[in-house]
Amino acid sequence: MEKITHAIQDEYPDEFAHCFGCGRLNEAGHHFRTGWDGDKTITIYEPKEEHKAIPGFVYGGLLASLVDCHGTGSAALALHRKNGHEPGSGHAPPRFVTASLHVDYLKPTPQGTALKAIGTVEEIHPKKWKTSVEVFAGDTLCAKGEVVAVVMPDTFKI
């Protein structure tokens, strides 16, 4: 399975690294990791056996979770790049939260295969970024999604 070398989630400060989807410090979580692939963003994840809808097919809520964290991670990557930084450069990245999530389920998603979420991210407001996401199992496009993420507001801070 391909691996992301420099993921944005590797560099979130510890207090923002507990997300069930993408927090490196959440022992029970999915540990999604999102990086650049040229000007696209990419997250690779192989669902566990229990992440099924029916035996053999991946649960839609897991795909929604993948799209969600891929979207917030992509927004963080994009604003970080706009600010002149890349993951791995040692600069603390911005942290986003999800404003809205949309997923269209196009085909049943087989289990036992690494999934790739590929994102195209664009700024729609200085604090708001939209990521269009395609989720592939092998060469098959199984789902399409869209995430609007906003810079984490003060109401969310700890």
- Chain residues binding its own copies by CB under 8 A are 15-16, 18-21, 26-29, 48, 50-57, 59-62, 64-66, 68-69, 97-105, 107-108, 155-156, 158
Buried b (16+ CB within 10 A) or exposed e, 45-83: bebeeebebeeebbbeebbbbbbbbbbbbbbbbbbbeee
Least Cβ distance, residue 36 to its own copies (angstroms): 22
Phi, psi of 106 (to 5 degrees): -95, -40
| Residue placing its CB nearer to its own copies in the complex, 4 or 63 | 63
| Residue placing its CB nearer to its own copies in the complex, 57 or 136 | 57
On whether the CB atoms of residues 74 and 131 are closer than 8 A, the answer is yes
| Residue placing its CB nearer to its own copies in the complex, 59 or 81 | 59
Least Cβ distance, residue 122 to its own copies (angstroms): 19
Least Cβ distance, residue 138 to its own copies (angstroms): 16
